[in-house]
Amino acid sequence: MPPSERAVLVIHGGAGVMPDHDYAEPAAFMAEILERGGRALRAGGEALDLVVEMVVAMEASGLFTAGKGSAANQAGEVELDASVMTGHDRMAGAVAAVRNVESPIRLALAVRERTPHVMLAGRGAEAFADQVGLPRISDPARYYAPAVARTARPGAVGATGPLTHGTVGAVALDRAGRLAAATSTGGTLSKLPGRVGDTPLVGAATWADARVAVSCTGQGEYFVRAAAAHDVAARMAYAQLPLDDAARQVIDAVGTLGGNGGLIAVDCEGNVAMPFNSGGMKRGVVGLDGKVVVEVY
């Protein structure tokens, strides 16, 4: 784990992007948090803290389909998924189908740091949130309602139609050479109760090892079937591909299965890839020079 002159922080706000929609507000928010993240990166912040901080901010903003911005499932409940992983020790934590937890990524982090497990789901995860004192939502109708109203627009499709979706994620290489990835979502719009997508699955939406950190977004079922996040690492390790080619090939493989979405990834040399096959992907990057770039289409 040599120190890195090319430390970098990358975030995404989901690949569920509509054509010609105005994303100025989420894009401005992403630029704002990347400014902050860039300062922390320069100050020697740890990759794990950086990715969690970015995801917590996006969860709390209500501007993305994660945390506060999540939409209800077909039973009228918001069920959330999240996962986090660090590359140097391959430690991971995840939560699936949790309700009324303010920050699913913080809960995933607590699973990583305070249990011998990798994933907790449903009621057990909620009880664990109470046990470790993480904030819960006491009035979900009020907390999530504006987001539900915004997302459930006419023509929105359910679990049997094309999957409408959104997610947030972050990957980082810090100055000490550590890699980390984090992903959090409210899942696909009008999903069935209990549906769990790729986001909490280590190897599907989130992966970090000594070589690369990856966070995916898109139609989760396809990313699970492609083992997408780990497949980026595998193509780099076994086929000796550069990050760019590995990441692009994985999105092509998701597309071949019929899915759409994208991913963000950073390798141990500070190379960044952000391929997508959807109409767009909210994404942003900041390096040690402090220059922030945010793009949607």
Per CB under 6 A, which region of 118-126, 136-144, 197-205, 236-244 contacts ligand ASP?
197-205
Task: Give residue 107's identity as a one-letter amino acid code.
Answer: L
The 136-175 contact track toward ligand ASP, x by CB under 6 A, reads -----------------------------xxx--------
Burial category of 271 from C-beta neighbours within 10 Å (exposed 0-12, middle 13-18, buried 19 and up): middle
The only residue of 188, 190, 206, 260 in contact with ligand ASP, by rule CB under 6 A: 188
Compare residues 9 and 205 and give the one whose CB is closer to ligand ASP.
205
Compare residues 86 and 164 and give the one whose CB is closer to ligand ASP.
164
Helices (H), 62-103: none
Are 171 and 189 in contact by the 8 Å Cβ rule? The answer is: no
Q: Which residues contact 272 (CB under 8 A, 6 or more apart)?
A: 8, 10, 243, 264, 265, 266, 285
As beta bridge partners, residue 207 has 214
Other C-beta atoms closer than 10 Å to the C-beta of 122 total 15
Compare residues 4 and 185 and give the one whose CB is closer to ligand ASP.
185
Characterize the bridge pairing of strands 92-98 and 119-121.
parallel
DSSP class of residue 164 equals: P
Compare residues 177 and 262 and give the one whose CB is closer to ligand ASP.
262
Q: Which of 65, 151, 167, 217 is catalytic?
A: 167
Is residue 199 near ligand ASP by the rule CB under 6 A?
yes
Cα separation, 123 vs 127, in Å, equals 6
Is residue 198 near ligand ASP by the rule CB under 6 A?
yes
Cβ at position 186, least distance to ligand ASP in Å? 8
Cβ at position 6, least distance to ligand ASP in Å? 27
Cβ at position 115, least distance to ligand ASP in Å? 23
Residue 167 catalytic?
yes
The only residue of 13, 45, 218, 280 in contact with ligand ASP, by rule CB under 6 A: 218
- Per CB under 6 A, contacts with ligand ASP among 7-36 are 14-16
Opening angle at CA 103, ends 100 and 106, nearest 5: 130
Strand order across the beta sheet in which 261-267 lies? 206-208, 212-218, 261-267, 272-273
Per CB under 6 A, which region of 18-26, 41-49, 211-219, 267-275 contacts ligand ASP?
211-219
Are 13 and 26 in contact by the 8 Å Cβ rule? The answer is: yes
Closest CA to 10 of 183, 127, 166: 183
Is residue 235 near ligand ASP by the rule CB under 6 A?
no
The only residue of 220, 259, 275, 284 in contact with ligand ASP, by rule CB under 6 A: 220
Is residue 217 near ligand ASP by the rule CB under 6 A?
yes
Q: Is the dihedral of CA 70, 173, 106, 83 positive or negative?
A: positive
Task: Give residue 283's identity as a one-letter amino acid code.
Answer: R
As beta bridge partners, residue 96 has 121
Cβ at position 16, least distance to ligand ASP in Å? 5
Is residue 197 near ligand ASP by the rule CB under 6 A?
yes
Is residue 187 near ligand ASP by the rule CB under 6 A?
yes
Residues near ligand ASP (CB under 6 A) are 14-16, 165-167, 185, 187-188, 197-199, 205, 217-220
The catalytic site residues sit at 167
